[in-house]
Amino acid sequence: MGKIPLLKEVVKLIFSKPATIQYPREETPVEPDARGRQYADLSKCIGCSLCMIECPPKAIRMEKIPEGYEVPKRNARKIYPVVDYFKCIYCYRCVTVCPTKAYIVTNEYRLASDAPVNSRELSLSTLKKVSQEPSQGEGEG
Amino acid sequence: MSSDPLEIPDVLKPIENLLKGVTIMKPGRVVALLEPSDVVKAYAALKARYGEVGLYFSTLVATDLKDEGKIRIDYYVNVLEKNQYVVLRTHVPRDDPRIESLLKEAPAALPGECEAYDLLGVVFEGNPHLRRAFFVPEEVAEKGVFPLRKDAGV
Amino acid sequence: MTEEVSKVDKVVEIPMTVEIPVGPQHPAVHEPILIKVYAEGEYVVKAEAYTGYNHRGIEKLAEKKSFYQDIFLCGRVCGICNAVHADCYVRALEHILDKEPPPRAKYLRTLAMELERLHSHMLVLAVTAEIVGFDTLFMHMMRDRELIMKAKEIVTGNRVLADYIMVGGVRRDLNSEKIDKLKKILTKVEPRIRYYWRVFEEDVTLNKRLVDVGRLTPVQVTSHGLLGPVARASGVATDSRYHDAYDAYAEVPFRIVTRKEGDCWARSLVRFEEMQVSLEICRYILNHLPEGEAVPDERRLPRRFPEGEAFTTVEAPRGELTYYVMSKGGVNPYRVKIRTPSYNNIINTVPFYVGHTIADVPTILASYDPCISCMERVTVIDLRRGTRKKVSMRDLARG
């Protein structure tokens, strides 16, 4: 009969740990190579705009690198990709199509927020800032 | 890409007399070119040969060929006995796209025909369920626009 | 029909809202589908369907985006069966390009698709149990389904939307550490599935609600074009994995599962046995992965496609899914046509509700696996008194 096996199951479950994870007090186990937030490493980016062309939801815009950052010579047009995380679908097309493999991938999945977020800060943090003295540039992250 | 015009594949033998031409679509589907008025007869002949349980009607695809002034309608039939797909392909003129409905022979054609009418404007005579705004949202249907046509501007 | 109108004193309108509760990026496929059921006393005498689909917008949008962007678009038509949509579309592109993926990639694609079939079947069986009122079983099956989602995350990088398939292969590879983790998960899941199978076969409540409800004969199945487990439970042995033998299905141990009865109970049991077959296939793949490259270099893929057309079929968990892709050269496709199995299964079965009680209507609908997970509101119109009362689907299903 079907009733008896379920009874055994119920008794077993009363004495075992509940299956729900009390997020956000506990962490959910996520794989290290799950597809999370990605951003461009500007020390490798050449400003070719391929990621902008190929992005399916058109979440990437190219912007000029602001003053005060040391731009590598290979980025002739001095532009860099800014990812709008609200439009991004995390398909990683930009990651796979970049000719210099300039995208840094993480498994950061906690991306809900009130204010619009994009990758400006993260990308710019990969460049060194130009210092006021004309000798060597100072590193900044 | 088209097979020898004299050689008709085995699966099409029941409708030999109606064929205008035979081609192959990748990856190995047999395409039979027919007149619009012959489609129902062809399906009935195939059904008579393979039995009611030996085949089923799978898909109806309508494509707007604006440059040629035609709308192409494909009927995809899966013949289970031969393990092969047969495509009945026909063209209707774009200004007056009418064709006889396949509902009596294959009730499975109902959603395909309703969709082709709603999205492209092909009228299937004999189908009582044709209706605008079946799939298309109401604002678009009221304007009389057929969204999937190339000049729809949607 | 006029005499019946005066006898009919209750008209039951059933609008169903579609909610697929899985995953971050939500492809809500269908808009509310309305099945108007005319009931006399408790028995249904007539049914009509009114639908407004959403994915037609996808077909028009696909013509404006490039071939590669459409891979991601087509993978988002359905949240539950997204790997099979992407696989079908990519295989159509590979036929146009006349390119074949390497053997290791074929096996990996099959692995992703079979994992998806596992979790999709668990979902629909849990929903069937919930509709009959057996909430506990629903919760238990969902808990075990989490193991499969974890397996999918290990393989593809995401629990639900696996953007895994690309022209020429897959997008990431498996190493031996991951293979071990996957094998452990499969070992954990298999006895649970067997247990639930036994519950469905023997439990008295499920038997009374599911046996002899919604019976379909083989002739009805083929003439109305029903697909997938619905057709196989009536004895019609049709399965795209056998007809087309795409990817690795020609080499893995695979058999078509059929039953003869044709009612809701048989459909559930067909799904259980298919899960068993999927587990065997996954184990075989993990043990016999061929060597070689699986990941193509996406930067070297051609941007312009030659002229041509292709028609591919794939066995989605719900039935046979077909894609038609036509290219006239250039970067964007000329026509993409998607015909999902739920399209056929739901609209064509509307005449078959006649003769059943109202409480059976949700059960039958859930057994067709309509790719819907949350059916909500039912309006009961009492014609005599002219009042409307909103009744939830659960109360209706409980009779």
C98-117 pLDDT, tens digit per residue, is 888 898 999 999 999 999 99
- How far is the alpha carbon of C31 from chain A, nearest alpha carbon, in Å? 22
Q: Please tell me the predicted confidence (pLDDT) of residue C279.
A: 92
CA distance linking residue A100 with residue A121, whole number of Å:
21
Taking one residue from B and the other from C, the number of pairs with CB-CB distance under 8 angstroms is 95
Looking at residue A28, the DSSP 8-state letter turns out to be P
Ordered domains of chain B (ranges, CATH): 10-142 (3.30.460.80)
Q: Which of B58, B147, B154 sits opposite C225 (nearest CB)?
A: B58
* Chain B residues touching residue C56 (CB < 8 angstroms): 115, 119, 135-136, 147-148
Q: Please tell me the predicted confidence (pLDDT) of residue C393.
A: 46
Q: Which two tokens stand for residue C196?
A: 């639930």
Domain-wise residue ranges, chain C: 55-339
B127-138 pLDDT, tens digit per residue, is 887 777 666 666
Q: Which two tokens stand for residue A18?
A: 């509940």
Q: Number of C-alpha atoms within 13 angstroms, CB side, residue C83? A: 27
Q: Please tell me the predicted confidence (pLDDT) of residue C40.
A: 61
Q: C72–A9: do the CB atoms touch at under 8 Å?
A: no
Flag whether pLDDT at C24 surpasses 60.
no
A27-67 pLDDT, tens digit per residue, is 777 877 788 888 888 888 888 888 888 888 888 888 888 88
Least confident stretch, A39-43, A108-112, C137-141, C392-396: C392-396
* Chain A residues touching residue C153 (CB < 8 angstroms): 30-31, 34
Which numeric CATH code is attached to A34-124?
Answer: 3.30.70.3270
Restricting to C residues 8-47, those with a Cβ less than 8 Å away from any Cβ of A are 25
Residue B83 CA: distances (Å) to CA of B14, C205, C242: 16, 40, 9
* Chain C residues touching residue A35 (CB < 8 angstroms): 157-158, 163
Q: Touching check for C376 and chain A: CB below 8 Å?
A: no
Closest chain C residue to A13, measured at CA: C140
Q: Which two tokens stand for residue C51?
A: 């639908």
Share of chain C above pLDDT 90, in %: 12
Q: Which of C59, C96, C311 sits opposite B29 (nearest CB)?
A: C311
Closest chain B residue to C34, measured at CA: B134
Q: Please tell me the predicted confidence (pLDDT) of residue C274.
A: 92
A113-128 pLDDT, tens digit per residue, is 777 777 777 777 777 7
* Average model confidence (pLDDT) across chain C: 77
Kindly tell me whether chain A and chain C come into contact, counting contact as 3+ Cβ pairs under 8 Å.
yes
Q: Provide the terminal-to-terminal Cα distance of chain A, rounded to the nearest Å.
A: 66
Higher pLDDT, A11 or C394: A11
Flag whether pLDDT at B2 surpasses 50.
no
Higher pLDDT, A141 or B18: B18
Least confident stretch, A7-11, B61-65, C44-48, C139-143: C44-48
Higher pLDDT, C9 or B122: B122
Domain-wise residue ranges, chain A: 34-124
Q: Please tell me the predicted confidence (pLDDT) of residue C187.
A: 92
Q: Please tell me the predicted confidence (pLDDT) of residue C275.
A: 92
pLDDT band at residue A1 under the 50/70/90 scheme: very low
Q: Touching check for C394 and chain A: CB below 8 Å?
A: no
Share of chain B above pLDDT 90, in %: 0
**E strand segments, chain C:** 10-16, 33-40, 43-50, 165-166, 169-170, 307-316, 319-328, 335-339, 377-382, 387-392
Q: Please tell me the predicted confidence (pLDDT) of residue B111.
A: 81
* Chain A residues touching residue C76 (CB < 8 angstroms): 89
Comparing CA positions, the residue from C263, C348, C274 lying closest to residue C316 is C274
Residue A55 CA: distances (Å) to CA of A35, B26, B76, C73: 16, 29, 34, 11
Fold of the C55-339 domain: Cytochrome-c3 Hydrogenase; chain B (1.10.645)
Closest chain A residue to C295, measured at CA: A96
* Average model confidence (pLDDT) across chain B: 79
CA distance linking residue A49 with residue C396, whole number of Å:
56
pLDDT band at residue B104 under the 50/70/90 scheme: confident
CA distance linking residue C333 with residue A51, whole number of Å:
21
* Chain A residues touching residue C299 (CB < 8 angstroms): 96-99
Flag whether pLDDT at A86 surpasses 60.
yes
B14-33 pLDDT, tens digit per residue, is 777 777 778 887 777 888 88
Mean pLDDT of C288-317: 86
* Average model confidence (pLDDT) across chain A: 77
Contacting subunits of B (3+ beta carbon pairs below 8 A): C
Contacting subunits of A (3+ beta carbon pairs below 8 A): C
